[in-house]
C-alpha cells in the first residue's frame, strides 16, 4: 500500500476522534474538577488575575475561559464576594474556587450544559494536536506505517478517549511532555538556532500546561549527558552548546511570563507564609492584623531562602508548584485492591498501567520496547524510552495516587516507540500487529461509552474495576446524566443518592430538585432505591450497608443501585 495513503488514513482517524470527542463532550456529565477549572479560566480572562486554582498552570484554563466568553455567563454578587476573598497571595482559595464553579454552572441562571460543552472544546482541540504531533513525528522519522500504528494506538486508547474532552490538565500535559522530549532530542543532536528556539518554546509550553511536566527536565538532563558521552568531540560540543542552553532557558522563562500575561506579581515577601496561608479573617488580602507573623517552621525558612531566586518567574507559578509538591508529598486518600491509604503505594501506577491499558496495546508496547532496545539502537526511540521511564519512576514517588490520568504523558512516547518497531518487523510480525490493532478496535467499540471506567481483562473487565481501583480510574462524576436517564426511564420513586463527585446543585440540575434525597438520609426500613458511586462504595464506611443490599447491580461500571427496605 502507498505509504502516503497510510498517513491519510492516520489523519482520517484523528478527524474521527475529534468528532467523537465532541460527542462525548455532550453526553458526559461534569467531572469533579471541571467546574473549578472552568471558573478559574473565566476569571483569568475577565480580570487578568490568577487567584483561583494556582495548583495548575493557566494555559488550559485560559483556553476554556476564552471559549465561554461569547456566552456572557451570569455572575452573582456572591460569586464576586468569593473572588474578593481570594486576593491574598498566600491564601489557598480552593473552597472559593470550587464554590464559584458550582455557582457559574448551576446557580447563577446559566445553561450548564452549554457552558460545559464550549468550555470543553479547547480540550478537544489540544487532544487533536497531541494526536497530530504523534502522527507527524512518526511520519517524519520513520514513515507511513509507523505513523498509522502510533496514531491508532493513541486514537483507540480508552484513557485518552475518557480525558480528551475534559477541562483538565492531564492530556494537555502529555502534549507538552512529548514536545519537550522531542525538541530536546533534536536540540542535543543538532544545537543550531532553529532547534534552540523550538526547544525553548516546547519547554515553556510544557510548563504552562501542567506542573508535572517539570519531570521532563531530569529526563532532558540525562539525554544531554548521553549525547555528550556519544560525541567524539566533547570539548567542541560543550563550547557550541552552552550559550544556546542559556537561550533555551531565557525563551522558556519568557514563555512563562507570556502565559501569565506579563503582569503577574512576583513572589511577595512574607514573614510567615504558613500563617498567612491559613489565616481566614477579614484582613485576608493583606498581612495587616495577622497574628504570629514569624517563621514558624522549616517551610518558612526555605521560602525565605529561595525567594530572591524564584522572583525570576511569575509568583503564581511558584505558588502552584509549591502546592503540587506539598500534595504529592503529603498524599491523598486513595483506594487500591481493597485497601485505603492516604500515602499511596509505590507500585500503584505500574499496576494501573497493567489493568487500565488494553491488552493488545500492552503487547504492542512490549514488542516495541524489545525491538527498540535491540542493536543497532535508534537514538530517538531510546530518548522516548528514557522520557517515559523517568516519568513513570517519578510518579511512583508520589503519595497522591488518583488515577491513570496522572501518567498520561507516559503513553504517547511508547506509542511512538511501537510505531518505530514496525519498521524493523518481519511480515509475520506485521500481520500480528494488524490482528492486535483489530482486536484493539473491537475492544474500543464495545467499551462505549464507559471509557473513563475502562479496565482490561486482567482486571476482569470494566464492571469488575471497582475491586481494583476507584477515583478518576472509574468514577469521577461523568455518569450523572446516565443516572438521571436510568431513574427517569425506570420511573423510580424514593431515590437516595450518594454521588460525591457532583454537588447537590448539579444533581438538582439534572435529576430535578426535590426528586431525590441523599443516601445518608435513608433510615433502615424505609423503602426506596439507593444509588452510590463506586468510590464511595469502596471507601466509605457510612454506606457499607449498600454492599449487602439485596439485588445490588451496576448501572455503569462506576455506579451501583439496589432496592432499599
Q: What is the pLDDT of residues 242-276, one digit of tens each?
A: 999 999 999 999 999 999 998 766 666 665 555 55
470 in a domain, yes or no? no
Better pLDDT: 317 or 311: 317
The pTM score is 0.93
Q: What is the pLDDT of residues 357-371, one digit of tens each?
A: 999 999 999 999 999
User: In the chain, helix, strand, coil percent, each to 5?
Assistant: 65, 5, 30
Average pLDDT (206-225) is: 97
Q: Is the pLDDT of residue 191 over 70?
A: yes
Q: Is the pLDDT of residue 186 over 90?
A: yes
Asked whether the beta carbons of 436 and 364 are under 8 A apart, the reply is: yes
489 in a domain, yes or no? yes
522 in a domain, yes or no? yes
499 in a domain, yes or no? yes
Q: What is the pLDDT of residues 60-113, one digit of tens each?
A: 999 999 999 999 999 999 999 999 999 888 788 999 999 999 999 999 999 999
Instruction: Report residue 1's pLDDT band, with 50, 70 and 90 as the boundaries.
Output: low
DSSP state of 459: G
For residue 280, the model assigns a pLDDT of 41
Q: What is the total count of domains within the chain?
A: 1
541 in a domain, yes or no? yes
Q: What is the mean pLDDT of the chain?
A: 92
Average pLDDT (437-449) is: 98
For residue 215, the model assigns a pLDDT of 98
451 in a domain, yes or no? no
Parent domain of 480: 475-564
**Strand bridging mode 528-533 / 495-498:** parallel
Buried b (16+ CB within 10 A) or exposed e, 469-508: bbbbbbbbbbbbbbbbebbeeeebeebbbbbbbbbeebbb
526 in a domain, yes or no? yes
For residue 236, the model assigns a pLDDT of 86
Amino acid at each position: 500500500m502507498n505509504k502516503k495513503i497510510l498517513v491519510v488514513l492516520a489523519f482520517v482517524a484523528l478527524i474521527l476522534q475529534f468528532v467523537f470527542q465532541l460527542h462525548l463532550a455532550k453526553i458526559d456529565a461534569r467531572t469533579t474538577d471541571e467546574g473549578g477549572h472552568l471558573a478559574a479560566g473565566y476569571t483569568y480572562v475577565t480580570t487578568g488575575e490568577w487567584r483561583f486554582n494556582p495548583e495548575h498552570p493557566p494555559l488550559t484554563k485560559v483556553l476554556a475561559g476564552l471559549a465561554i466568553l461569547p456566552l456572557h455567563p451570569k455572575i452573582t454578587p456572591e460569586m464576586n464576594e468569593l473572588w474578593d476573598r481570594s486576593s491574598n497571595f498566600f491564601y489557598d482559595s480552593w473552597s472559593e474556587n470550587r464554590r464559584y464553579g458550582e455557582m457559574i454552572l448551576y446557580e447563577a441562571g446559566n445553561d450548564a450544559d452549554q457552558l460545559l460543552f464550549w468550555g470543553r472544546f479547547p480540550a478537544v482541540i489540544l487532544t487533536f494536536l497531541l494526536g497530530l504531533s504523534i502522527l507527524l513525528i512518526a511520519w517524519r522519522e520513520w514513515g507511513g506505517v509507523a505513523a498509522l500504528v502510533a496514531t491508532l494506538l493513541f486514537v483507540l486508547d480508552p484513557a485518552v478517549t475518557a480525558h480528551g474532552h475534559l477541562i483538565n490538565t492531564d492530556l494537555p500535559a502529555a502534549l507538552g511532555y512529548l514536545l519537550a522530549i522531542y525538541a530536546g532530542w533534536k536540540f542535543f543532536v543538532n544545537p543550531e538556532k532553529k532547534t534552540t528556539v523550538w526547544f525553548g518554546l516546547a519547554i515553556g509550553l510544557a510548563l504552562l500546561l501542567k506542573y508535572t511536566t517539570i519531570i521532563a527536565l531530569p529526563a532532558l538532563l540525562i539525554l544531554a549527558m548521553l549525547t555528550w558521552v556519544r560525541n567524539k568531540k566533547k570539548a567542541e560540543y560543550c563550547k557550541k552548546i552552552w550559550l544556546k542552553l542559556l537561550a533555551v532557558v531565557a525563551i522558556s522563562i519568557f514563555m512563562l511570563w507570556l502565559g501569565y500575561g506579563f503582569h503577574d506579581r512576583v513572589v511577595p515577601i512574607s514573614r510567615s507564609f504558613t500563617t498567612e496561608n491559613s489565616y481566614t479573617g477579614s484582613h485576608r488580602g493583606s498581612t495587616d492584623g495577622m497574628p504570629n507573623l514569624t517563621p514558624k517552621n522549616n517551610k518558612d525558612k526555605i521560602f525565605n531562602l529561595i525567594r530572591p531566586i524564584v522572583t525570576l518567574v511569575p509568583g503564581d507559578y511558584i505558588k502552584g508548584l509549591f502546592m503540587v509538591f506539598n500534595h504529592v508529598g503529603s498524599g491523598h486518600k486513595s483506594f487500591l485492591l481493597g485497601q485505603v491509604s492516604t500515602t499511596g503505594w509505590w507500585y500503584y501506577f505500574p499496576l494501573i498501567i497493567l489493568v487500565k491499558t488494553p491488552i493488545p496495546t500492552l503487547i504492542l508496547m512490549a514488542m516495541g520496547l524489545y525491538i527498540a532496545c535491540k542493536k543497532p539502537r535508534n537514538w530517538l526511540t531510546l530518548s522516548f524510552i528514557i522520557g517515559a521511564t523517568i516519568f513513570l519512576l517519578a510518579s511512583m514517588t508520589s503519595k497522591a495516587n488518583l488515577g491513570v490520568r496522572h501518567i498520561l504523558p507516559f503513553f504517547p512516547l511508547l506509542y511512538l516507540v511501537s510505531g518505530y518497531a514496525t519498521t524493523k518487523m518481519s511480515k509475520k510480525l506485521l500481520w500480528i500487529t494488524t490482528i492486535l490493532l483489530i482486536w484493539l478496535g473491537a475492544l474500543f467499540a464495545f467499551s462505549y461509552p464507559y471509557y473513563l471506567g475502562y479496565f482490561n481483562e486482567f482486571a476482569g473487565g470494566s464492571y469488575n474495576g471497582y475491586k481494583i481501583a476507584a477515583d478518576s480510574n472509574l468514577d469521577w462524576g461523568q455518569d450523572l446524566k446516565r443516572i438521571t436517564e436510568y431513574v427517569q426511564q425506570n420511573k423510580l420513586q424514593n431515590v437516595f443518592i450518594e454521588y460525591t463527585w457532583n454537588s447537590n446543585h448539579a444533581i438538582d440540575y439534572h435529576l430535578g430538585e426535590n426528586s431525590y434525597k441523599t443516601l445518608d438520609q435513608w433510615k433502615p426500613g424505609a423503602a426506596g432505591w439507593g444509588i452510590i458511586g463506586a468510590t464511595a462504595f469502596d471507601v466509605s464506611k457510612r454506606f457499607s450497608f449498600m454492599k449487602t443490599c439485596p439485588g445490588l447491580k451496576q448501572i455503569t461500571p462506576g455506579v451501583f443501585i439496589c432496592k432499599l427496605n
